Amino acid sequence: MKKLMILIVLFSLTACQGQDKKAEPSKAENQLPAKPNGKVVKTDAEWKKVLTEEQYAVLREKATERPFTGEYYKNFKKGVYVCAACGNPLFNSDAKFDSECGWPSFDQAIKGSVIYKEDNSVGMQRVEVMCANCGGHLGHVFDDGPQKTTGKRFCTNSVSIKFIPAAK
């Protein structure tokens, strides 16, 4: 009889835990402000329809692409870089520099285009950079950029941005 009671209690606890997990918001919903500066808000399903698998992993789940593999790492053409998720202009090409870190680097973002969040994941203290329009994860900003300009290095995932060439 004791064994039966223990099994019933364990089953009840396990069943309750399963119900609690279903009620929790998804991982991506936990990480995003409810309305990132009030502009673009989509469900996970909607984002998955418009982003590639790799873009979704970086922009919505805060993954990082492998260094030295991104499309824009060595792109120094004139133009503007926009958010790959929503098209928000983020960086002008004049702010881009070769930091040799393996990712596209900029010394400043377009004013009001990004938001910042403290990031203490992976045992490091960093500042996450997100699109102010949709909350998409772009990368991180560090204080080891060019001292002749801002001293900042916006280390950005290529898959989180798209390059729009300047008109000729």
Q: In 3D, which of 156, 164, 144 has the Cα closest to residue 96?
A: 156
Would you say residue 156 lies in a domain?
A: yes
Would you say residue 1 lies in a domain?
A: no
Q: Of 86, 131, 134, 155, which residue is the catalytic one?
A: 155
Q: Residue 36's pLDDT is what?
A: 54
Q: Is 155 a catalytic residue?
A: yes
In which band, very low, low, confident or very high, does the pLDDT at 88 lie, cut at 50, 70 and 90?
A: very high
Would you say residue 159 lies in a domain?
A: yes
pLDDT above 70 for 160: yes
31-52 tens-digit pLDDT? 334 445 558 889 999 999 999 9
Would you say residue 96 lies in a domain?
A: yes
Q: In 3D, which of 27, 30, 61 has the Cα closest to residue 159?
A: 61
Would you say residue 78 lies in a domain?
A: yes
pLDDT above 50 for 86: yes
For residue 106, the domain's CATH number is: 2.170.150.20
Would you say residue 12 lies in a domain?
A: no
Mean pLDDT confidence for 54-69: 96
Mean pLDDT confidence for 55-73: 96
Q: Residue 37's pLDDT is what?
A: 56
Rounded percentage of the chain residues whose pLDDT exceeds 90: 72
Q: What b-and-e string marks burial along 34-62, b requiring 16 or more CB atoms within 10 Å of the CB? A: eebbeebebeeeebeeebeeebbbbbbeb
In which band, very low, low, confident or very high, does the pLDDT at 122 lie, cut at 50, 70 and 90?
A: confident
More confident residue, 26 or 121: 121
Would you say residue 34 lies in a domain?
A: yes
- The radius of gyration of the chain from alpha carbons, rounded to an integer in Å, stands at 20
Residue 69's domain comprises 30-165
| Total structural domains within the chain | 1
How many residues can be counted in the chain?
168
Would you say residue 9 lies in a domain?
A: no
User: Is the pTM higher than 0.75?
Assistant: yes
